[in-house]
Structure 1
Amino acid sequence: MTTAPFARASGRCRPGKIASALLPAWLACACTATTGDLGRPRPTVWSQLLAPEAGFAAAAGRGEAASRFRLTDDEEQMRDRAWRFVMPASPNSVFQGEVSNLAHTRILPVAAQSTDVSDYFRGLTGIAFASQASRYNRMTEDANADRLLIGPFRANAMRVVSMDRVRMRTVQASPDIAPEKQDPALARVIENEGLIFWVCERLDFRIRSYRHALANLVVEMPSREAVRAERAIMALEAEAGPLCRMPLNDAFGEGAKRPVVYKG
């Protein structure tokens, strides 16, 4: 399932736009070698100044909701916490990591990300491990790390959704709000809700990728460690469910299809 969670209406991306947006990608590659909090790239001139401007222009050019409003502390933190989930889980996936990083800055559309569930399995088997158990342990650790970060993201998202509700009530009720602030306000609500949708889509993709990898590992290298990996994936799925069913502000309208986390 692939959607354009920031767009008011769905539409196809023109290849020319994607190609032109890839131009700064090589600069991004040079700037994301080291990591900071939550595994994100350390702050640089690119990530703090250039990428946000390029992302705003690219998103607006694709017809997606884009707001010039400054981010609240919770909105900024939610974007930081989302980074883990929208990046590829696959080990050694440098190119896809850069694509996802550019999608996170909105320079590229989210549809540019890989949707091949076999990526994780290829990455897991493409790395030298001491034993077969090490591969299962890596998968267990990845799934558990995802699970532990969902709760803080959900709490953060709930605060953002609550404040967006206040924001829109104020826009509708207060005569002191200038008309030119109404569209950016709605765009910010769409951005925030779209980010939650995107995280749920990528969580679903991660769960399906882990299950694909587990099934293929069991066929190639059966191990008792598969039980621990299966339990970790089940726990991740259980934790993701409440996040992806939490009440939102219906910024996309009643017809919007919400992401559904993997169910068998």
Structure 2
Amino acid sequence: MRTACRSLAVLLALAGGACTGDLGRPRPNLWSDTIAPQAGFWSATFRGEAASYFRMTDDEEQLRDRAWRLVMPAHERNLFERQVSDLAHARILPVAVQSNAASDYFRGLTGGSYASQASRYNRLAEDANADRLLVTPFRGNAARVVAADRVRMRTVEGSPLVPPEKADPAMARVVENEGLILWVCERVGFRIESYRYALANLVVEMPSREAIKAERSIMALEAEAGPLCKLPLIGAFGGAGRAQEPAEKAPKPPVVYKG
């Protein structure tokens, strides 16, 4: 147990020390370009999760970049949770280690000093709007990846020129891609739940007409998240082959990338 705790502390320190670029994503560096991907591959393999050695397409790389912001905690003050989520995004840690406490965002939102209660409501509306603007391009990106995966698997199954040993890593990549889409859908649902929790508690603590603006922003995010979570998938995880709707009350358990 002590060894595991020390290892986690080292990983958190390395992840937390990475500089950030656009939208808070880690800038390309030795950690994000080399160490984290390799560590994530071997960590996922050790846990028995699907992990492919195939090089990623441009769309697959972009899908992971776009996912980063949506799977992170919604408020930057949740520092520990952000570092854990960063390691989960790299697959160094399993996604199950992420916090599922809807109160996390509210604590971050109210943890600092603001000029007035309007500032808190405005920040809530801004965060919901920022998520909404990210969901649409992620959905388009995901649709392209799923379409390419359909071609990939048809070629694996139908072409005599593809060696049989490439079937497993090809399917592993499909599982990775669909698992990421399902994870983003689940975390967007969790963000919506967190925003609603924060709004309800803000109204109780400090009622304001600004609550109307925040409520509308959350509703707009919900409307945008719906099509993402209905995106037709190949069905690598079984079921109907589509992402699930975001939970309205309790968040669903995180997706595990099992093969």
TM-score in terms of structure 2 length: 0.91
Aligned match of 1:25: 12
| Aligned twin of 2:253 | none
- Which of 247, 252, 259 does residue 262 from structure 1 map onto? 247
Shift of 1:43: 1.1
Q: CA RMSD in A?
A: 1.8
Shifted more, 134-143 versus 37-46: the winner is: 37-46
Question: What's the counterpart of residue 187 of structure 1?
Answer: 172
1:126 partner amino acid: G
SS of 1:261's equivalent in the other structure is coil
Match of 2:99 among 111, 114, 125: 114
Corresponding residue number in structure 2 for 1:4: none
- Residues in 2 aligned to 1:179 and 1:17: alpha-carbon distance in whole angstroms: 40
Shift of 1:19: 4.2
CA distance in 1 between counterparts of 2:175 and 2:88 reads: 16
| 1:1-264 → structure 2 map (5 Å cutoff) | 19=5, 22=8, 23-31=10-18, 34-254=19-239, 258-263=243-248
- 1:39 Cα deviation (Å)? 2.1
**Alignment check: 8 A CA contact 2:75 2:108 kept:** yes
Q: Is the 8 A contact 2:233 2:243 kept in 1?
A: no
AA partner of residue 131 (structure 1):
S
Contact map agreement 1:91 1:124 (CA 8 A) in 2: no
Supply the AA of the counterpart residue of 2:231.
Answer: M
| Structure 1 residue 257, shift from structure 2 partner | 8.8
Task: Report how far residue 20 of structure 1 moved.
Answer: 7.0
| Unmatched tracts of structure 2, length 5 or more | 250-259
Compute the displacement of 1:263 (Å): 3.5
% identical aligned pairs: 66
Shift of 1:67: 0.3
TM-score by length of 1: 0.90
Runs of 4+ in 1 over 4 A off after TM superposition: 15-21, 255-258
